[in-house]
Structure 1
Amino acid sequence: MKRLDFLDGMRGFFLLTMALSHIVLQGGVWLTELHFRQLMFVESAQGFVFLSGLMVGLIQGRRLLRHGRAAMRRSILSRMAELWLWTVGLIFLALVARDLAPGGYLAWRNWLGTAPIGDPMRIFGILTLTFQPTFMDILPMYIFFMGAAIVVTRWAVEGRWKLAAGLSALSWIACQLEVARIWSRPLNEALKASDTQGLRMAFDPMGWQVLFIAGVILGGLWASGRISWEAVFGPKTRSVAFCALLVMLFFAPLRIATAHGLMPKELLEVFWPFDRRSNFSVIYLVNFVAAAVLFSWLAIAGRLDRLAPVRAVSSGLHWVFTRPALCLLGRHSLHVYAWHVVLVYAVRYYDSAWGPSGVVINTLLVLYVLALMWVPPLIRERGWRRRIAA
């Protein structure tokens, strides 16, 4: 089992579960209740962002060590340009579909806004990535983080990772204090289009950057040999894994209560300020750290644990996340993510025009969409094989 295969498998898993949580159907669909976010304050987007940062730090760190800063910078800037093209292309494609498809305006007005495609301010917002339609918000955020990765990767490889971690933590704290309101409100007014929407983002980059930057730092340390996962999650760290498990068990009832509307109103009023997904509040941060530590310990140290059930869980994790199908999705994560946006918007249009369709049809539709996720990676893999053969 190659470590990168395991990471690709995890990215593929998060892409699948992310697509599942993004499918919106009238009447809902029971499959979404199987998502792990129903039991914890950890979601697919968080894992995907963190793993993306880890892969950037690892791959670009190795490039930095082998070919120098210039090669790393060119590679990251090229990736940023590619992501920008995909993002802008997807948004304009969606706007054209909204204006041309019968009933498209009604189906997607809440996701795309109502300003015409030729509105100058809307075009400016799209090109500057300050207008992010629903489910098209991770790629712009990824572009912002890649720009920071140019410096953070170098610091991590050179052993100055504490400086990057400190600045990242400071940005997260500023986000929790809503310091960004100083400039976000004037910017929102300046960017308003004819539908009164200006600055539109589902995630606050100042908060969510802590996931990506943490991944970049760990990836850079890994690439430079400054960290050994076997030492970090060795057999003697069972107490750390146990503490992480306790944190998960403590928050599980709270998550179940908030997910199903079971929390008393008085408690919810106190709890709500700490449960803000948009800025990656403290509850999400604590739960993600606990889940990451527990999962990493099970995957690395669990294989040699003295308890047979723990070894069985570790073996099961390795088996699941090294499945070729999941690894295939993870290797082509950019194209799969872009394709999943097209699929989710198509489902939304179908449901708006011909829904609701009932439990059976909705279930089959979700399964069909998830199966279609493999179309881009299969096409790309076949193209790679042809080029290699040639």
Structure 2
Amino acid sequence: MPPTKAPLGAPASTRDPRLDFFRGLALVMIFINHVPGNPLETLTSRNFGFSDAAEGFVFMSGMAAGLAYPAAFVCLPLWRAVAKCWGRAWTLYSVHLVISVISLAIMLGAAYWFGADQMRTLNNVAPWIRAPEKATIGIATLGHQFGYINILPMYAALLVMTPVMILIGQRNIWVMLGGSFLLWVITGEARLNMPAFPNEGGWFFNPFAWQFLFVIGLATGMRLKTGERLCPNVTWARWLSLAVLVFVLAWVKIGVIRDPCNAALGFLQDHGWPFYIVSFDKTFLAAPRLLHLLALVYFLSTQRWVMHLSASRWVWPVLLMGRFGLACFALGTVLSILGQSIQAALIDGTWVFDMGYVFLGLAVQMAFARVKWQLAKPPAER
């Protein structure tokens, strides 16, 4: 795809603006959903289909990896190419530990200084209160993850797997996708997951299941790097993807459609169909969530207006959030936990505060992304 002209005042780049824009939009929706109770939650994607911003974030993370890393496996020694992927995984792990500690301090501070005792039990803090030694070990080993702070461990695990995925994909991209699909099926059948500690169970974002969506994104990015599409842009597929999106919207929003459809899925599950095919399970990335996200991605990727919107000056703040996605995600996570703690300690569910805090938090993240962009420019251009 040819590079697009940057909007006035926006950073000049040959990057496809859609990736940064939609990654930034996913971060906006994640932040909105992580400040529970605010009216803007009703406008996020999870209210219009089976998937939510997390699925979009993981797909685009795979796509970004497909654009960034495969060339290293051609131009560099293998160990250096692997080190690039694993170095990024280490960065994600480090950021996860930092925001986990900061968030824990915020929640305990709200309980200690402001009497918000519920913060001792929310977001999976209770195991740390009961057994701090074990839970601290769990935090360091990723076995214990606080609520709203649990997507980066999965992303880091996927980047550890990425070198093998790329090496297979460079030989045959369909073998890579087929192997990934097989692992998704085996994960659902055997209930594979990374173990939690000290809690029983496993990770909320199961990397063995979510790798399938990541690999689809990876394959998409690898093909885009060569100027090709993973799936061809054909009329019948555009109409089919739109039909899926409309049907799912009706399923979610219209009771006379939703009730029999849900009953049909329940009937199939009662008669032996695998749960990861006929449920909406998020941990194992059930098929309805996956298929909805893929239909949405395909439809948006075939629309010219999406490219124009993504390159517009009006969405530049969101695009910059996507450009500096990890930094903005980390800041947004801490701000969301701070907002939850203020809700519990001082406000107690006032929608005016919730909405105002969301706008303030997004403004802070957009300003932070602008500063990051300015610092990333060569000194002569600042």
* TM-score interval, smaller chain: 0.7 to 0.9
User: Which SS does the other structure have where 1:137 is aligned?
Assistant: coil
- AA aligned opposite 1:136: I
Please give the root-mean-square deviation of Cα atoms over the aligned residues, in Å: 2.9
Show the counterpart of 1:67. Answer: 76
- The one of 278, 284, 287 aligned to 2:289: 284
Show the counterpart of 1:365. Answer: 357
**Cα shift readout 1:333-362 (whole Å, capped 9, x = no counterpart):** 011111111011011011101223533333
Q: Distance in 2 between matches of 1:49 and 1:322?
A: 25
Alpha-carbon spacing, 1:147–1:354, altered in 2? closer, same or farther (3 Å) = same
Aligned length: 357
Contact 2:250/2:257 (CA < 8 Å) preserved in 1? no
User: Which SS does the other structure have where 1:323 is aligned?
Assistant: helix
Q: Per-residue deviation at 1:68? A: 4.1
Matched, 1:159 2:171: yes
Q: Distance in 1 between matches of 2:312 and 2:202?
A: 37
Q: Per-residue deviation at 1:389? A: 6.0
- The one of 200, 204, 207 aligned to 2:206: 204
Show the counterpart of 2:344. Answer: 352
User: Which SS does the other structure have where 1:61 is aligned?
Assistant: coil
Q: Distance in 2 between matches of 1:270 and 1:344?
A: 39
Report 1:68-83 matches (<5 A). 68-83=77-92
Moved more, 48-57 or 264-273: 264-273
- AA aligned opposite 1:346: L
- The one of 73, 91, 101 aligned to 2:100: 91
Q: Distance in 1 between matches of 2:106 and 2:354?
A: 23
Contact 1:12/1:327 (CA < 8 Å) preserved in 2? yes
Contact 2:63/2:217 (CA < 8 Å) preserved in 1? yes
Show the counterpart of 1:343. Answer: 335
Moved more, 133-142 or 91-100: 91-100
Show the counterpart of 2:19. Answer: 7
Q: Per-residue deviation at 1:276? A: 1.6
Q: Distance in 2 between matches of 1:20 and 1:247?
A: 26
Show the counterpart of 2:323. Answer: 331
- AA aligned opposite 1:149: T
Report 1:1-390 matches (<5 A). 1=4, 2-24=14-36, 28-101=37-110, 102=113, 103=115, 105-116=117-128, 119-156=132-169, 158-180=170-192, 187-188=195-196, 191-192=197-198, 197-199=199-201, 201-223=203-225, 225=226, 228-229=228-229, 232-234=231-233, 237-257=234-254, 263=259, 266=263, 269-270=266-267, 273-298=278-303, 303=304, 313-314=305-306, 317-319=309-311, 323-385=315-377, 387=379
User: Which SS does the other structure have where 2:16 is aligned?
Assistant: helix
Q: Per-residue deviation at 1:297? A: 1.3
Contact 1:56/1:216 (CA < 8 Å) preserved in 2? yes
Alpha-carbon spacing, 1:291–1:160, altered in 2? closer, same or farther (3 Å) = same
Q: Distance in 2 between matches of 1:199 and 1:93?
A: 25
Alpha-carbon spacing, 1:80–1:232, altered in 2? closer, same or farther (3 Å) = closer
**Cα shift readout 1:88-145 (whole Å, capped 9, x = no counterpart):** 1221222233334423552252214224477332122111112111111110000000
Q: Distance in 1 between matches of 2:116 and 2:65?
A: 37
Alpha-carbon spacing, 1:43–1:357, altered in 2? closer, same or farther (3 Å) = closer
Contact 2:173/2:219 (CA < 8 Å) preserved in 1? yes
Alpha-carbon spacing, 1:108–1:326, altered in 2? closer, same or farther (3 Å) = farther
- AA aligned opposite 2:162: A
Show the counterpart of 2:9. Answer: none
Q: Distance in 1 between matches of 2:250 and 2:78?
A: 48
User: Which SS does the other structure have where 1:329 is aligned?
Assistant: helix
Q: Per-residue deviation at 1:11? A: 0.8
Where in structure 1 are there 5+ consecutive unaligned residues? 304-312
| TM-score when normalising by structure 2 | 0.83
User: Which SS does the other structure have where 1:133 is aligned?
Assistant: coil
